Each structure stands twice: as C-alpha cells, then as structure tokens.
Structure 1
Amino acid sequence: MIRSLILMLTIAIAGVDSLPAGDLFSPWQRHTVDASFRGADGVRLADFDGDGLQDIVTGWEESGVVRVYLNPGSHSAKEFWPAVTVGKAKSPEDAVAIDVDGDGQLDVLSCHEGKANAVYVHWNQTGQSREVLLKPSNWKSERFPQLDGERWMFAAPLGEIDGRRAIVLGSKNNNASITLLQSPAGADQSLKNWTVTKLRVAGWIMSLRPLDMDGDGDLDIVYSDRKGNNRGIGWLEQRSADDWQDHLVGGVDDEIMFITPSPQRILAAARDGEWLEIQRTAAGWNEQRHPNPSGVIWGKAITSLAPDQLVMTANTTGPAGVGDVPGIWFSADRTSWSAIDSETRCKYDRIECIDLDGDGDLDVLTCEERRLLGVVWYENPLN
C-alpha cells in the first residue's frame, strides 16, 4: 500500500514538472471501462437493457471491432464493464445506438472509413436481457449497400420524418456530404430500400447533433465541418424530408473539431490553439475566441461540466503540443486550466458528462487512442 502511494505521488510530481509554465496539474482518478483493443474512437450513450442507466457504444478503429458496454451501476462502475463485440469491420470511426428497424430494441449503427468506407447495422436479435445482450452470437451485422464508397465519420438518429425512421450521416474527403437516410415507405424494409438524400456538400464532418434550433418542435441538425470551402459550424433547418436550409454561424476560418451546441450557444474545439464560443443574439451569432491551455494546439472537444466549468480534450501527439503536454484539462473559471491526467502525447476524443459513481456530480467519460488508454472515465473530485 505504501509503495503504491509513493508511486502515485511520483507520477503526479512528474506530471507537474512536464506542464508548461502557468498551468496546474490537478489529478482526477481515472477508471478504465475497457482497454483491451486498439484505437478507441468515440463514446456514445444509450440504455440497452432498460435499467435506467446509460450504457456505452464505442468503435475501435485499429482493431476493427464495435463494442457495447453495459453499465454495471455505481457500485461497480470503477471496474471493467461487462462488454460484447456486436460487430467486426475495418476502420470503425463512430458507433451509435439506434432502433433501426423500429421494433423497440436498440441496434448499433457504425460508420467506417479507411479500408471499409461503409455503414453497418449490428442487429440486436435478443431483447433487453443483460445475459443475452452480452452474447456475440445474438448480434448480426448487415451493410447499407447504397452507402458504399464514402468515408463515413458520424451518424445520429433523427426519430421519424414524414412517418419514416430517419438517420443523419456525415462523411469526409471525396464526395463528402451530410446525408439523410430514411426507412422505406413500403412493406419491404430491407436496408437496400432505404432512401438517401444529400443535404449538404461537406469536406470533413466531425459533429452531427440533432437539436430543435428554431423552436418549431422538430429536430434540426447542428454540424461541424472541419475542411474544404464550406467548412465551419452551422445548422440545417428541417422544413421537410427534402427541404433543409443551411445556416452557417461561425468557425469558417478554423479547423473545427467536436462541438457542444444548444439553441443559444455553441462551444467548439479547434486545431489552432483556441476554442470558440458562439452565442446567439438578436442580430445573429457572435463569435468569441479563447486560448487553449498552454501548449495545446490541437483541441478535440470542449463541453460544460457545470456553470463556468469546462472540460477540454486534445490531441497532443507529435507536433500538436509544445513538449510533453497532457491531453485532458479542466477549467473552473473559463480562463485558467489544470490537467486532470498527467499522461502526455495523447489523442482523446469526444466527451460525455455523466454521474457514473452515484455521488451527485458529473464525471467525465471519454476515450483515448494513441497511448492505448481505451474507454475511460474521470471521477469528479470537486463536490
């Protein structure tokens, strides 16, 4: 026990010494959900087993697997979570829970780039029992053939539009787009019969967030597009299934990464040493720029943990950081930052703030793909 405490203190001191001048190291305890594969790429939440707790979906890009993690409850959340591999395909970039066939059970939809360039459904053939959900043989994978060829990066459910189930997808590079996918109107619900509507030309879609931006009761699509002539942050106003108006609100001079939107404010990480806060006003949208933590050039995601409290993840591998820089940070006042993990040269991803230990405050769930930390969460020590 004493040796372990000495080792933890040594690591913390080393982390302090490695930080740029002016920044602090304030460790939060890291807990690992899973670190058994390579290239953890995104965390998405949903309740698969109907117990009221949020489970996790993650694609492992380098290992080519898509996994579901069932929340064990606050009493066991600090241990490895029960998990199942629901599908295998190369280069999964994103995976999200969606009831694709409308049977009341959550399936998993995964977006693939690289060597696959496809979109897969991993069918839940079991129901909600934890025992059967955790059996790989109870999941079956199937591809949308009409989506082959694009480097798909992200997807999100849109509920129903005109009585048909709807999914929005985004891709990157050649022929990149924001695309609407809708279930067939007829009796044959085969994946090949789903209709595809291109909503917007894109360069590299990072975020797609369904949100009612105009208060009319339907879901619009808030997006971040990091590359190309149309890059920036905007939202697509839903008028009908084939009529969407594009509203560009900011970030046109930046390489925008993940965003955290609301109808009145959008937080955005960028790859130029700053993060953006874009606020809605009577005259339009007002863009404000704020510095990243010292040495952090490539921001990845930023979100609010509580009023005036921010959490940021970053890519600090290679030239993206000045020296050995940590990749996950906390700010209690929106200006000064402290690293919550001393691990350096990391590539973290998007963030979910959720109370996982049942103590009433929000913890930080994310994943990391270069130092092989995997799917992890950080225990909030502040309250």
Structure 2
Amino acid sequence: MAEVVLEKAGKTYPGGVRAVEGFDLRIADGEFVVLVGPSGCGKSTTLRMIAGLEEITEGSISIAGAVVNDVHARDRDIAMVFQNYALYPHMTVERNLSFGLMRRRVHRSRLRALLSSDYRTAMREESAAIDLRVSEAARMLGITDLLDRQPRALSGGQRQRVALGRALVRAPQVFLFDEPLSNLDAKLRVEMRTELRVLHRQLNSTMVYVTHDQEEAMTLGDRLVVMNEGVVQQIDAPTRIYSHPVNRFVAGFVGTPSMNFLEGTLDAQGVFATDDSTIELPSELSTGHRGPVVLGVRPGALQPCEEGRGWKCHLAAVEHLGDRVDLVLEHCGMQLVSRVESSRSFQEGATLWVEPKAGEGVHLFERSKEGRTLASA
C-alpha cells in the first residue's frame, strides 16, 4: 500500500477554465478518504489526476514517495472502479476477474525470466497465481457461486461486486472509486457501502472515493474532503465536519435535511434579530460578534416551543419518516425544517413557534460570500 500526496495540484483547461485549484492533501498509507461535493466541483477531475487519466497543469502528485506527474496511468500501480461496471459481456465472471492479469501477468518482473527458463513451467505458475487471486477475491466479495455466470445473468449489486473484484485481483498500491454505487437502488447502496468498509478493514489499503452523496461520504470515509467550484473547503473527520463546519457552504452541504439559515443582526447583548422577531443567543455564540450575521440551525436543533418564544411559523407540511417527523415551516418568506420525534402530533396549516436548542447544532456565520464560521454551540 502507499501514501498519496497532492501538493498545490491543479487543472486548467484550454480557455482558462479552472477545474481544480491549489489542491493540497496527504493521504496516509491505508487511509480511506472521500472527496465529496456537488456536481462540477472538481472531485472526479481530482481522482482522474491521481489515476493519470487527466494531466495536471500545476503542482505535483506523489504515490509511495515517487512523483507521478509524468508517469502513465498503467504504470502507477492503481486500480479504478467506475460508476458503470465495464464488464466484458461475453466472458464469465471468472474470466472478467482474471482477464487483466492474464494480459499483464501477475509478476511483470518475471517475464524476463521466461526467456531463460522453461516456458511451460513458468506459464503454469503464472496461471496458478492468477487462479489463487481470483478465488480469494471471489471469496472476499461473496461471489464464488457466480464465477461461471455471464454479466447478463447478474443483478446490479452482483455486477458491482465483480467490478470491485477486478480491482482486487490487481492488488494495487491505491484503490480509486469514482461514484461506484450511483447505479444501485437505495437498499443496495447501503449494503454495498457496508461491504466496502469491511473490505477496507480487511485489506488495510489506501482508498480514495468520490461521491456527491454526503450521507455515503459520512459513512465511508476516515476523512472527508469537501469541495466546491474546484477548491477544497474543508478536510477533516466526518463527525468534525458535521459539528464544526468551517463555512456556510460546508454546513449547508453536509447533513440531511440541510441546515436552516436565517439572516439577521446581532447586538451587544447577544440578541439576534430578524425582520419581525428577536431571540437571545447563548453566550458561546454571541460573544465578540456584532452586526449582520447568518444563524445556522440543524433541523434536529430547531424545536417547537411555547407561544411567544422563538420564531412564529406557518406549518406548511408534515413529513412522516417512521421514528421521526420533519416539519416544513414558513417564516418571513423563508422555509425552515424542524425534525422531531414521531410520537408528537402536528396539524398542517397550524401556527407553530420554534426556537434553536443550544449545544445541538447551532452556528453563527459571517454574512459574506465566504460565509466563514464565527462560532458553534
């Protein structure tokens, strides 16, 4: 396995279009890092730069201590799994798993030895080594019973396991995943991401994974790299990114439902005022901050309260989600969401007062383009 290092790596296309800018990241040997962000943020371009499928225009990329800027993709000792399975339809699962190795041979350095040793013996040894890798990958992925089938006889989840197996048999230094679960239904995605985590623990391999699904990112990654418009916004553990976002973009992107944002002003007494209401904020949020700000509240931290406190809202919709209920609220032309326990009863169209609960996901942001985080409680 190997450490992957990107130093000021960037990609600018002809015409001056910057896809990735000043990307700095050190991925430890055996770490599972997830690049996450909205469509067009540069995450897949970054992955392709690591793979050697996209030429970088600035900075450097190193794998296992060696700079690979000018190294061809086939010589970087990486394996990549894509969104589409890219299986050979006329081959069995076993042949799909072994085909790449049959072309490359398991130990490329031994090819020279074929000229001076018994050819048939060497080929038998190579074939036996390939068979061993295929059977081991099939066992780990639970597809041993599928080895004689062709792709058309497989479900979507089974095809994705075969695509993973094809990467496994390569035994690369680094695994790269470009939204590999996007074609699966919701239930299968949950199952496959669990299997990926188990696989990572078994292999202890360096893995870099790209997704636009922040829930998928939170459950898979040791660390997340949140990107927007080609720029890294935050790199940290999933729990830290959720509880301590560095700016308004990260706060709004990570978490389901999205964070509620209210624009207002904060005075010296710690009172936050919108156009038609005021609310006193806890000292950890208000200390040292005055003037125009944005208050961010996680849906789970926005709770109903007694009349006259907090914000007066119109209850537009009640969304039942089993053990919880999402209340869709309207306040001063803004839509808010409050997440409550399902044991409580609410009537659509009613008036509801809500307030933020400190210590449960309340944040203060600059009212600027960058939206830097000022405080969290």
Q: Same fold (TM over 0.5)?
A: no
Higher helix share: 2
Quickly name the TM-score band, shorter chain normalised: under 0.3
What TM-score does the superposition give when structure 1 sets the normalisation length? 0.24
Larger radius of gyration: 2
What TM-score does the superposition give when structure 2 sets the normalisation length? 0.24
